[in-house]
Protein backbone atom coordinates (compact mmCIF):
# COMPACT_ATOMS: atom_id res chain seq x y z
CA UNK A 1 0.00 0.00 0.00
CA UNK A 2 2.77 2.35 1.01
CA UNK A 3 4.68 1.66 -2.18
CA UNK A 4 1.58 2.25 -4.25
CA UNK A 5 0.99 5.56 -2.51
CA UNK A 6 4.63 6.51 -2.97
CA UNK A 7 4.39 5.61 -6.63
CA UNK A 8 1.27 7.72 -7.08
CA UNK A 9 2.87 10.68 -5.31
CA UNK A 10 6.04 10.22 -7.35
CA UNK A 11 4.07 10.04 -10.55
CA UNK A 12 2.03 13.11 -9.73
CA UNK A 13 4.94 15.23 -8.64
CA UNK A 14 7.72 14.12 -10.93
CA UNK A 15 6.11 12.68 -13.99
CA UNK A 16 3.00 14.76 -13.81
CA UNK A 17 0.19 13.19 -15.76
CA UNK A 18 1.00 9.55 -15.19
CA UNK A 19 -1.86 9.28 -12.71
CA UNK A 20 -4.10 8.57 -15.67
CA UNK A 21 -3.60 4.84 -16.09
CA UNK A 22 -5.15 4.97 -19.55
CA UNK A 23 -2.02 6.05 -21.36
CA UNK A 24 1.71 5.77 -20.85
CA UNK A 25 3.45 8.89 -19.74
CA UNK A 26 6.62 10.17 -21.17
CA UNK A 27 7.36 13.85 -20.98
CA UNK A 28 10.14 14.11 -23.51
CA UNK A 29 11.69 17.45 -24.21
CA UNK A 30 13.54 16.51 -27.38
CA UNK A 31 15.02 19.78 -28.66
CA UNK A 32 13.68 20.66 -32.12
CA UNK A 33 16.47 20.96 -34.68
CA UNK A 34 15.60 24.40 -36.01
CA UNK A 35 17.26 24.69 -39.39
CA UNK A 36 17.35 28.06 -41.09
CA UNK A 37 19.69 27.59 -44.05
CA UNK A 38 21.79 30.71 -44.53
CA UNK A 39 19.29 32.98 -42.80
CA UNK A 40 20.63 34.53 -39.58
CA UNK A 41 19.50 32.74 -36.41
CA UNK A 42 16.24 34.27 -35.12
CA UNK A 43 15.43 35.08 -31.52
CA UNK A 44 13.19 32.24 -30.43
CA UNK A 45 11.00 32.31 -27.31
CA UNK A 46 13.04 31.42 -24.25
CA UNK A 47 10.28 30.46 -21.81
CA UNK A 48 9.22 27.49 -23.94
CA UNK A 49 12.11 26.18 -26.01
CA UNK A 50 11.11 24.51 -29.28
CA UNK A 51 10.69 20.78 -28.68
CA UNK A 52 9.75 18.07 -31.14
CA UNK A 53 6.76 17.20 -28.93
CA UNK A 54 5.37 20.73 -28.79
CA UNK A 55 5.94 21.37 -32.51
CA UNK A 56 4.18 18.08 -33.31
CA UNK A 57 1.24 19.03 -31.12
CA UNK A 58 1.11 22.44 -32.82
CA UNK A 59 1.05 20.77 -36.22
CA UNK A 60 -1.84 18.54 -35.16
CA UNK A 61 -3.80 21.53 -33.88
CA UNK A 62 -3.03 23.56 -37.02
CA UNK A 63 -4.65 20.87 -39.16
CA UNK A 64 -7.59 20.13 -36.85
CA UNK A 65 -11.10 21.33 -37.71
CA UNK A 66 -12.13 20.93 -34.06
CA UNK A 67 -10.69 24.38 -33.45
CA UNK A 68 -13.72 25.75 -35.31
CA UNK A 69 -17.37 25.81 -34.27
CA UNK A 70 -18.52 23.51 -37.04
CA UNK A 71 -15.57 21.13 -36.80
CA UNK A 72 -14.87 21.72 -40.47
CA UNK A 73 -12.44 24.62 -40.60
CA UNK A 74 -8.81 24.28 -39.57
CA UNK A 75 -6.01 26.82 -39.80
CA UNK A 76 -4.82 24.87 -42.84
CA UNK A 77 -8.16 25.47 -44.62
CA UNK A 78 -6.97 29.04 -45.20
CA UNK A 79 -3.23 28.46 -44.83
CA UNK A 80 -2.41 25.65 -47.21
CA UNK A 81 1.18 24.53 -47.64
CA UNK A 82 1.12 24.30 -51.44
CA UNK A 83 0.09 27.97 -51.53
CA UNK A 84 2.89 29.11 -49.17
CA UNK A 85 0.41 28.65 -46.29
CA UNK A 86 -2.01 31.08 -47.90
CA UNK A 87 -5.24 30.18 -49.72
CA UNK A 88 -5.22 31.50 -53.30
CA UNK A 89 -8.53 33.27 -52.72
CA UNK A 90 -9.23 36.98 -52.85
CA UNK A 91 -10.94 36.76 -49.48
CA UNK A 92 -10.88 33.63 -47.31
CA UNK A 93 -14.12 31.81 -46.65
CA UNK A 94 -14.93 31.19 -42.97
CA UNK A 95 -17.15 28.66 -41.15
CA UNK A 96 -20.37 30.35 -42.22
CA UNK A 97 -19.33 30.17 -45.86
CA UNK A 98 -18.90 33.93 -45.83
CA UNK A 99 -15.83 35.80 -47.01
CA UNK A 100 -13.65 37.94 -44.73
CA UNK A 101 -12.37 41.35 -45.77
CA UNK A 102 -8.69 40.63 -46.30
CA UNK A 103 -6.50 38.18 -48.16
CA UNK A 104 -5.10 35.28 -46.12
CA UNK A 105 -1.44 35.98 -45.44
CA UNK A 106 1.24 33.45 -46.29
CA UNK A 107 2.96 31.99 -43.21
CA UNK A 108 6.65 32.10 -44.08
CA UNK A 109 9.68 32.84 -41.90
CA UNK A 110 7.48 34.24 -39.13
CA UNK A 111 10.24 33.53 -36.59
CA UNK A 112 11.83 36.75 -37.78
CA UNK A 113 8.71 38.96 -37.55
CA UNK A 114 8.82 41.07 -34.44
CA UNK A 115 6.84 44.19 -35.28
CA UNK A 116 3.35 42.74 -35.23
CA UNK A 117 1.22 40.23 -37.08
CA UNK A 118 -1.74 40.62 -39.46
CA UNK A 119 -1.89 43.12 -42.31
CA UNK A 120 -2.37 45.88 -39.73
CA UNK A 121 -0.02 44.48 -37.06
CA UNK A 122 -2.75 44.26 -34.40
CA UNK A 123 -1.25 41.19 -32.74
CA UNK A 124 2.16 41.47 -31.05
CA UNK A 125 3.39 37.88 -31.42
CA UNK A 126 2.45 34.43 -32.68
CA UNK A 127 1.34 33.18 -29.27
CA UNK A 128 -1.22 35.95 -29.06
CA UNK A 129 -2.10 35.72 -32.74
CA UNK A 130 -2.83 31.98 -32.68
CA UNK A 131 -6.08 32.41 -30.73
CA UNK A 132 -7.50 35.27 -32.84
CA UNK A 133 -8.79 33.18 -35.77
CA UNK A 134 -10.47 30.69 -33.42
CA UNK A 135 -12.56 33.45 -31.82
CA UNK A 136 -13.04 35.43 -35.03
CA UNK A 137 -16.74 35.13 -35.84
CA UNK A 138 -16.15 35.11 -39.60
CA UNK A 139 -13.20 32.70 -39.52
CA UNK A 140 -13.55 29.79 -37.04
CA UNK A 141 -16.18 31.27 -34.72
CA UNK A 142 -15.49 29.07 -31.72
CA UNK A 143 -15.32 29.74 -27.97
CA UNK A 144 -11.97 28.75 -26.49
CA UNK A 145 -13.61 26.88 -23.59
CA UNK A 146 -15.36 24.69 -26.15
CA UNK A 147 -12.11 23.96 -27.95
CA UNK A 148 -10.56 22.96 -24.62
CA UNK A 149 -13.53 20.67 -23.85
CA UNK A 150 -13.36 19.00 -27.27
CA UNK A 151 -9.64 18.35 -26.96
CA UNK A 152 -9.98 17.10 -23.37
CA UNK A 153 -12.40 14.46 -24.59
CA UNK A 154 -9.69 13.00 -26.81
CA UNK A 155 -7.24 10.50 -25.38
CA UNK A 156 -4.83 11.23 -28.21
CA UNK A 157 -4.77 14.91 -27.30
CA UNK A 158 -4.38 14.19 -23.57
CA UNK A 159 -1.38 12.08 -24.50
CA UNK A 160 0.07 14.69 -26.81
CA UNK A 161 -0.30 17.49 -24.25
CA UNK A 162 1.41 15.26 -21.70
CA UNK A 163 4.30 14.60 -24.03
CA UNK A 164 4.55 18.30 -24.83
CA UNK A 165 4.00 19.90 -21.42
CA UNK A 166 4.41 17.21 -18.76
CA UNK A 167 0.74 16.71 -17.88
CA UNK A 168 -2.60 16.50 -19.60
CA UNK A 169 -3.94 19.85 -18.55
CA UNK A 170 -5.31 21.39 -21.75
CA UNK A 171 -5.52 25.17 -21.63
CA UNK A 172 -5.84 27.94 -24.18
CA UNK A 173 -2.37 29.10 -23.18
CA UNK A 174 -0.87 25.75 -24.09
CA UNK A 175 -2.85 25.61 -27.35
CA UNK A 176 -1.38 29.00 -28.25
CA UNK A 177 2.17 27.94 -27.35
CA UNK A 178 1.92 24.77 -29.44
CA UNK A 179 0.52 26.63 -32.47
CA UNK A 180 3.24 29.23 -32.07
CA UNK A 181 5.92 26.53 -32.01
CA UNK A 182 4.65 24.95 -35.22
CA UNK A 183 4.43 28.31 -37.02
CA UNK A 184 7.99 29.18 -35.94
CA UNK A 185 9.23 26.13 -37.84
CA UNK A 186 7.81 27.32 -41.18
CA UNK A 187 11.18 28.34 -42.60
CA UNK A 188 11.73 28.89 -46.30
CA UNK A 189 15.40 29.35 -47.25
CA UNK A 190 16.01 26.99 -50.15
CA UNK A 191 14.74 28.73 -53.27
CA UNK A 192 16.64 29.13 -56.53
CA UNK A 193 17.56 32.59 -55.24
CA UNK A 194 19.23 31.06 -52.15
CA UNK A 195 21.01 28.43 -54.21
CA UNK A 196 22.30 31.10 -56.57
CA UNK A 197 23.67 33.10 -53.62
CA UNK A 198 25.40 29.91 -52.46
CA UNK A 199 26.87 29.47 -55.96
CA UNK A 200 25.06 26.17 -56.52
CA UNK A 201 22.98 27.32 -59.51
CA UNK A 202 23.04 30.25 -61.89
CA UNK A 203 20.19 32.62 -62.57
CA UNK A 204 19.10 32.81 -66.21
CA UNK A 205 19.86 36.05 -68.07
CA UNK A 206 16.32 37.29 -67.62
CA UNK A 207 16.27 36.42 -63.90
CA UNK A 208 19.63 38.17 -63.41
CA UNK A 209 18.40 41.31 -65.19
CA UNK A 210 15.33 41.21 -62.96
CA UNK A 211 17.52 40.83 -59.87
CA UNK A 212 19.58 43.86 -60.79
CA UNK A 213 16.49 46.00 -61.36
CA UNK A 214 14.98 44.78 -58.08
CA UNK A 215 18.13 45.80 -56.21
CA UNK A 216 18.70 49.16 -57.92
CA UNK A 217 17.41 52.66 -57.37
CA UNK A 218 15.61 54.54 -60.10
CA UNK A 219 18.01 56.38 -62.37
CA UNK A 220 16.46 59.67 -63.57
CA UNK A 221 18.84 59.78 -66.56
CA UNK A 222 17.27 56.55 -67.76
CA UNK A 223 20.66 54.94 -68.45
CA UNK A 224 20.27 52.22 -65.87
CA UNK A 225 16.95 50.59 -65.04
CA UNK A 226 16.14 50.52 -61.34
CA UNK A 227 12.87 49.40 -59.75
CA UNK A 228 13.51 50.31 -56.08
CA UNK A 229 11.95 47.12 -54.72
CA UNK A 230 14.80 46.31 -52.30
CA UNK A 231 14.00 49.28 -50.06
CA UNK A 232 11.01 47.46 -48.63
CA UNK A 233 11.46 43.86 -49.82
CA UNK A 234 15.16 43.44 -49.04
CA UNK A 235 16.78 40.02 -49.25
CA UNK A 236 17.12 37.61 -47.56
CA UNK A 237 13.61 38.00 -46.06
CA UNK A 238 12.13 40.11 -48.86
CA UNK A 239 10.28 42.17 -46.28
CA UNK A 240 11.41 44.87 -43.86
CA UNK A 241 8.71 43.79 -41.40
CA UNK A 242 7.25 47.33 -41.42
CA UNK A 243 3.89 48.90 -42.22
CA UNK A 244 3.85 51.05 -45.32
CA UNK A 245 1.55 52.50 -47.93
CA UNK A 246 2.76 51.45 -51.39
CA UNK A 247 0.26 53.64 -53.23
CA UNK A 248 -2.54 51.27 -54.18
CA UNK A 249 -5.23 53.95 -53.70
CA UNK A 250 -5.66 57.69 -53.34
CA UNK A 251 -7.26 59.44 -50.37
CA UNK A 252 -10.72 59.32 -51.90
CA UNK A 253 -10.68 55.57 -52.49
CA UNK A 254 -9.28 54.02 -49.31
CA UNK A 255 -11.61 51.23 -48.19
CA UNK A 256 -9.45 49.60 -45.51
CA UNK A 257 -7.56 52.00 -43.25
CA UNK A 258 -5.00 49.33 -42.33
CA UNK A 259 -2.54 50.27 -39.59
CA UNK A 260 -4.54 53.39 -38.66
CA UNK A 261 -7.26 51.10 -37.30
CA UNK A 262 -4.74 49.94 -34.68
CA UNK A 263 -2.80 53.11 -33.85
CA UNK A 264 -5.46 55.75 -34.56
CA UNK A 265 -2.83 57.85 -36.33
CA UNK A 266 -3.79 59.40 -39.69
CA UNK A 267 -0.14 59.01 -40.78
CA UNK A 268 -0.73 55.25 -40.59
CA UNK A 269 -3.69 55.44 -42.98
CA UNK A 270 -3.76 52.56 -45.46
CA UNK A 271 -0.40 51.30 -44.30
CA UNK A 272 -0.13 47.54 -44.44
CA UNK A 273 2.49 45.05 -43.46
CA UNK A 274 5.12 44.69 -46.18
CA UNK A 275 4.66 41.03 -47.11
CA UNK A 276 7.55 38.69 -47.80
CA UNK A 277 8.02 37.89 -51.48
CA UNK A 278 9.31 34.39 -50.79
CA UNK A 279 7.18 31.83 -52.67
CA UNK A 280 5.29 34.75 -54.17
CA UNK A 281 4.60 32.86 -57.42
CA UNK A 282 2.36 30.49 -55.41
CA UNK A 283 0.47 32.90 -53.15
CA UNK A 284 -1.73 34.73 -55.68
CA UNK A 285 -3.84 36.83 -55.60
CA UNK A 286 -1.84 39.78 -54.28
CA UNK A 287 -2.10 42.67 -51.81
CA UNK A 288 -4.23 42.87 -48.63
CA UNK A 289 -7.40 42.77 -50.71
CA UNK A 290 -6.20 40.34 -53.37
CA UNK A 291 -6.79 42.94 -56.09
CA UNK A 292 -4.10 41.66 -58.46
CA UNK A 293 -4.42 38.18 -59.90
CA UNK A 294 -0.91 37.88 -61.35
CA UNK A 295 2.64 39.04 -60.73
CA UNK A 296 2.56 40.73 -64.13
CA UNK A 297 -0.27 42.96 -62.86
CA UNK A 298 1.69 43.72 -59.67
CA UNK A 299 4.81 44.76 -61.57
CA UNK A 300 2.78 46.86 -64.00
CA UNK A 301 1.21 48.60 -60.99
CA UNK A 302 4.64 49.50 -59.55
CA UNK A 303 5.79 50.60 -63.00
CA UNK A 304 2.96 52.98 -63.82
CA UNK A 305 -0.03 52.60 -61.50
CA UNK A 306 1.10 53.93 -58.10
CA UNK A 307 -1.27 56.56 -56.68
CA UNK A 308 -0.50 59.60 -54.61
CA UNK A 309 -2.15 60.12 -51.21
CA UNK A 310 -1.57 61.78 -47.85
CA UNK A 311 0.18 58.69 -46.49
CA UNK A 312 1.87 57.17 -49.53
CA UNK A 313 5.44 56.26 -48.63
CA UNK A 314 8.15 58.71 -49.76
CA UNK A 315 9.98 55.72 -51.24
CA UNK A 316 7.24 55.59 -53.88
CA UNK A 317 8.38 58.98 -55.16
CA UNK A 318 9.76 57.78 -58.50
CA UNK A 319 6.96 55.31 -59.04
CA UNK A 320 4.53 58.23 -58.90
CA UNK A 321 6.25 60.55 -61.29
CA UNK A 322 7.51 59.84 -63.83
CA UNK A 323 6.88 56.13 -63.18
CA UNK A 324 9.66 53.57 -63.43
CA UNK A 325 9.60 53.61 -67.21
CA UNK A 326 10.12 49.85 -67.44
CA UNK A 327 9.70 48.18 -70.83
CA UNK A 328 7.60 45.06 -71.30
CA UNK A 329 10.85 43.07 -71.31
CA UNK A 330 11.92 44.75 -68.02
CA UNK A 331 8.58 43.83 -66.46
CA UNK A 332 9.00 40.23 -67.59
CA UNK A 333 12.54 40.12 -66.17
CA UNK A 334 11.32 41.35 -62.78
CA UNK A 335 8.62 38.67 -62.75
CA UNK A 336 11.22 36.05 -63.70
CA UNK A 337 13.30 37.11 -60.71
CA UNK A 338 10.31 36.98 -58.37
CA UNK A 339 9.73 33.39 -59.52
CA UNK A 340 13.24 32.40 -58.33
CA UNK A 341 11.92 32.87 -54.78
CA UNK A 342 9.85 29.67 -55.01
CA UNK A 343 11.10 27.03 -52.57
CA UNK A 344 9.72 23.64 -53.65
CA UNK A 345 11.08 21.93 -50.58
CA UNK A 346 9.14 24.31 -48.32
CA UNK A 347 5.94 23.91 -50.34
CA UNK A 348 6.02 20.11 -50.31
CA UNK A 349 8.00 19.13 -47.21
CA UNK A 350 6.16 16.34 -45.39
CA UNK A 351 7.23 17.61 -41.94
CA UNK A 352 4.58 20.33 -42.18
CA UNK A 353 1.79 17.85 -43.02
CA UNK A 354 -0.08 15.36 -40.91
CA UNK A 355 1.46 11.89 -41.31
Binding site for ligand HEC (CB under 6 A): 67, 73, 75, 77-79, 92, 94, 100, 102, 104-105, 107, 110, 113, 117-120, 126, 129-130, 133-134, 139-140, 179, 183, 227-229, 231-233, 244, 246, 248, 272-275, 277, 280, 283, 286-288, 295, 298-299, 302, 313, 315-316, 334
**How far apart are CB 322 and ligand HEC at their closest, in Å?**
15
Residues 31 and 44: their CA atoms lie apart, in Å, by 13
In this complex, which beta carbon is closest to ligand HEC, that of residue 6 or of residue 328?
328
Integer Cα distance of 192 and 190 in angstroms: 7
CB 290, min distance to ligand HEC, A: 7
Of residues 2, 29, 27, 3, the one with CA closest to residue 17 = 27
Q: Report the residue number, 17 or 64, with the smaller CB distance to ligand HEC.
A: 64
| Number of alpha carbons in the 13 Å side-chain half-sphere of residue 303 | 19
Q: What are phi and psi of 241, to 5 degrees?
A: 60, 30
34/254 with CB nearer ligand HEC = 254
Q: How many CA atoms lie within 13 A of 341 on its CB side?
A: 26
Complex with ligand HEC: residue 102 or 163, whichever CB lies closer: 102
Q: Which lies closer to ligand HEC via its Cβ, residue 27 or residue 48? A: 48
Task: Of 277, 284, 275, 281, give the one whose Cα is nearest residue 339.
Answer: 281
d(CA 6, CA 3): 5
Of 104 and 187, CB closest to ligand HEC: 104
If the CB atoms of residues 18 and 299 are measured against ligand HEC, the closer one turns out to be 299
For the bound state, the minimum distance from the C-beta of residue 189 to ligand HEC, rounded and expressed in Å, comes to 17
Q: In 3D, which of 190, 285, 279, 195 has the Cα closest to residue 238?
A: 279
Classify each residue of 173-194 as buried b or exposed e, where b means 16 or more C-beta atoms within 10 Å of its C-beta. ebbbbbbbbbbbbbbbbbbbbb
Q: Tell the smallest beta-carbon distance from residue 343 to ligand HEC (Å).
A: 15
Q: Minimum Å distance from CB 345 to ligand HEC?
A: 20
Q: How far apart are CA 129 and CA 116, in angstroms?
A: 9
CB atoms within 10 A of CB 330: 18
Which CB sits closer to ligand HEC, 18 or 75? 75
Contact criterion met (CB below 8 Å) for 60 and 255: no
- How long, in residues, is the chain? 355
State the nearest-atom distance from the C-beta of 200 to ligand HEC, in Å: 24
Cα 289–chain centre separation: 16
Of 15 and 122, the one with the shorter C-beta distance to ligand HEC is 122
CB of 292 to ligand HEC, least distance (A): 7
Distance, CA of 293 to CA of 12 (rounded, Å): 56
The least CB distance from residue 201 to ligand HEC, in Å, is 21
CB of 73 to ligand HEC, least distance (A): 5
Q: Is there a cis peptide before residue 257, judged by omega within 30 degrees of 0? A: no
Amino acid sequence: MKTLLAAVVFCTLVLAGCTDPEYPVTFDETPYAFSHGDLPAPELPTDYALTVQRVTLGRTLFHDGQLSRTGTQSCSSCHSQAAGFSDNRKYSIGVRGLPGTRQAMPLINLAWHSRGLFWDGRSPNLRDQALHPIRDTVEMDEVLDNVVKKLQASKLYREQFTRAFGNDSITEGRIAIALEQFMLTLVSADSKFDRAVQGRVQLSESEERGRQMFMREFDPTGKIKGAECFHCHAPPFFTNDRFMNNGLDDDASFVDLGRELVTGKPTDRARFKVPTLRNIARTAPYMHDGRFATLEEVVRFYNKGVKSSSSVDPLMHFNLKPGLNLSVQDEQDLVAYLKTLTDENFLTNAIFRMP
